[in-house]
Structures are given as structure tokens and as C-alpha cells.
Amino acid sequence: MAQALQPAQRRLTVGRLQVPESRDSMPLSLALAAFLSLAAQDGPIITGRTAPTESPEALRRREAMAYAYPIPPGVPADDFGFLGYCDGLISGHIQLGETLGDSADAELMRLGRLERQDFEGARAAGAARATAAQTAGAQAAYARAMTRWQSYLNDPDADSRQAAFDLFFGLPGRCEHAARRVRANITTAPATLEDVGLTPEEVLPPSLLEQQSGDGAAAAATGGVDASGEE
């Protein structure tokens, strides 16, 4: 199997994002680990700005790679709705950092606020064109992401809040493209991996490929009907 490609990514820090340890090297709780897994499961992680010299072909390639990842359960698939989820992820992280005062990394906070501003601007631009159902879906997605932060925001222990803030993996790669597409009112489907000459094996991690293979086999075995009897 070909080695998985890593797309050009935007980062809150220079170079590849390294997951920092907490200040006291405290173990990551199962709840926090599950939250981080949900936050990062749906694509390459990005935060910050794309280089202005990126070619249209490179942008299209990154977009195809980002959209190849599945979205989290219950999150809208349309760009406007998905952007609400992205806004909630970064807003919750910023709010958590604000509870830490000077202990929160100033550069992470600065760039996170720029990211939130970008998402909010795109959402405002898309709101005039969105249907009532899309608006409700986007707001529900925002609330869904914020709910995942709530237990950490309410935690009275500053060390636990610091660990959650430090260990946030970032945003799905799809967020960047959803914001750009909503802002520019792009309604055509994004490029697929096939369109840009890539295969899932070159892009997706083995664990996700195995999961998708298992899901496909299960669907075939039941004739496309899940355990609840729904197609």
C-alpha cells in the first residue's frame, strides 16, 4: 500500500503541529481523548492562513484530500452547515483559553481568534443565501461542537483545563475549504480524489480505510439495511 500523503496544512505553530504534554505530564483522560478523536477524525488538521502563492491546482488537490475524509456523525454535509461545526470547535477552544489567562499560549489564542473571525465572516456571507433548514442545521452543528467543550469549560481544576487547551489537535482540513466556498458562493461539488489523480490508499490513514471497508462489508451483508431496519 502506498504511503499516505500529507497535504499542505495550515498550522497554529511553525512546521508540523506537535501535540504538547500537559504542564504536569498528567495523563490524558479517556473523555478528553475521545473528544480529540472526534475533533480530528474528519480530515487533515488546519488552523491559520494558506500561502497566497498557492496554485489553483494545489488548492484543488488539498480540497479533494480534505473532502475525502468522512464527516462526524450528526454534522451537516453541506458547506454552510459544516462551517457551523468548525466555528464551534474553534470558539470553544478560544473560550477555554480565556479561562486560563496568561497561561494560554498567546500565539495560539491570536491565531485562533483570526480563524474564528474568518469563519464568522464566511457564515455571515452565506446566511443571506441559506435556507431556514440550512441555518438551523448550522446552528445545531455549532452547538454540537460547543457541547463537547462544555465539561472542560465548567471544570474548576485549572490544570485539567490547561491540558484540554494544550491537547486540542486543531481543525478538520475541510473547515478551510468550507469557509472559502461559502464566502465565494461556490456551489459546485469539490474535486474528488480521482479528479486529482489520487486514491484513498494514498490519502486516508489505514485505520480509516479498514473502518470504511468494514462498514461496506456490513452494508452488503444486510442489503444496505442497518440494525434498526433503516436503509
Instruction: Tell me the pLDDT tens digit for each residue of 88-107.
Output: 999 999 999 999 999 999 99
Residue 160 grid coordinates = 485539567
- Helices assigned H by DSSP within the chain: 30-40, 56-67, 79-98, 106-127, 132-153, 158-166, 173-183, 200-203, 206-221
Query: pTM higher than 0.85 for the full model?
Result: no
Does residue 125 sit within a domain? yes
pLDDT of residue 230: 39
Considering the domain boundaries, does residue 159 fall inside one?
A: yes
Asked whether residue 209 is domain-assigned, the answer is no
Is the residue at 2 inside a domain? Answer: no
Does 212 fall in a domain?
A: no
d(CA 138, CA 164) in angstroms, rounded, equals: 25
Could you tell me if residue 22 is inside a domain? Answer: no
Please write the tens of the pLDDT for every residue from 25-71: 333 344 444 444 444 444 444 444 554 688 999 999 999 999 999 99
The residue written with cell numbers 488537490 in the block is 61
> What is the model's pLDDT at position 64?
97
| 231: pLDDT strictly greater than 80 | no
Q: Is 147 a member of any domain?
A: yes
- Contact between residue 96 and residue 70 where contact means Cβ atoms under 8 Å apart: no
Beta-ladder partners of 172: 45
C-alpha cell at position 12: 497554529
Q: Report the number of distinct structural domains present in the chain.
A: 1
Neighbours of 224 (CB within 10 A): 9
Nearest to 105 by CA among 195, 181, 17: 17
**Bigger pLDDT: 182 vs 215:** 182
Average pLDDT (212-220) is 65
Q: Which domain holds residue 56?
A: 30-191
Residue 131 pLDDT > 80, yes or no? yes
Residue 123 vs residue 221, higher pLDDT: 123
Which grid coordinates are listed for 47? 488552523
pLDDT digit string, tens, across residues 133-151: 999 999 999 999 999 999 9
Beta-bridge partner residues of 111: none
In a domain, 207, yes or no: no
